Amino acid sequence: MAKGLFITFEGTEGCGKSTQIKLLAEHLQAIGHRVRMLREPGGTPIGEEIRHTLKHSEQNHAMTAEAELLLMNASRAQIVREVIRPALAAGEMVLCDRFYDSTTAYQGYGRELDLDKVKSIIEFAIGGTKPDLTLFLRVSAEVSAERLRSRQSTLPFVRDRIEEADRKFFERVGHGYDVIAANEPERVKFINGAQPVDAVCRTIWEVVQPRLPKVGRW
């Protein structure tokens, strides 16, 4: 059976990743592909427990940047081996809401940890499993902040420790993503996330479609 395709979605808070992952999954399923949707941190029972500790626990206020980095990659090591590799081997389209670029951007650039150490820990966690394509939904800091405020006002409030960081942190994160994209232009594609939802969806499809493996009725 042909190997599947591994697509990751990246971006700062409020960029619209979750919505676009669902829309892409529906489109792929409609033309005959089997799709696996995942999120990081999380995606496995172990990973979801780590996610709660990292983001939502009321006991995580004293978490250091180093602990955050290691927990992120503990969750990643589990999902790579438990879910991602088997799904790809079975020919599935794997769509993941964040992957290791988030760690480089958030923990490396945002938390200002040593980038060489961050890279080394990531490489140990992924063991060579890398995305075929990464879609970076780009929005301005102003748009990101406004979408976060809107989301928090319309949904039941759930504390997110990472969203509590200051604006300078998110500016460093955005710069980190710019550096990543500049270094890997074939893999990382910028998408204007400030467009209307349907326009973003069309742009994503234009990028994804040429990379898809053929399915039976094509």
* Residue 19 half-sphere exposure toward CB, CA atoms < 13 A: 15
pLDDT at 206 (0 to 100): 97
Which residues fall within 8 angstroms of residue 139, CB to CB, at 6 or more apart? 11, 12, 14, 15, 16, 147, 193, 194
pLDDT band per the 50, 70, 90 thresholds, residue 1 = very low
pLDDT at 217 (0 to 100): 42
AA identity, residue 171: E
Does position 158 have pLDDT exceeding 80, yes or no?
no
Cα–Cα nearest to 190, from 66, 9, 5, 7: 9
Does position 183 have pLDDT exceeding 50, yes or no?
yes
Kindly report the CA angle at 151 between 57 and 100, in degrees rounded to 5? 60
pTM of the predicted model as reported, rounded to 2 decimal places: 0.91
Q: Which CATH superfamily hosts domain 5-211? A: P-loop containing nucleotide triphosphate hydrolases (3.40.50.300)
Q: What average pLDDT score do residues 140-157 get?
A: 64
Instruction: List the chain domain ranges.
Output: 5-211
Tokens of 19: 């919505």
3-state DSSP: the chain helix, strand, coil percent, rounded to 5?
Answer: 55, 10, 30
Does position 151 have pLDDT exceeding 90, yes or no?
no
Task: Determine phi and psi for 134, rounding to 5 degrees.
Answer: -125, 125
Residues pairing with 157 in the sheet: none
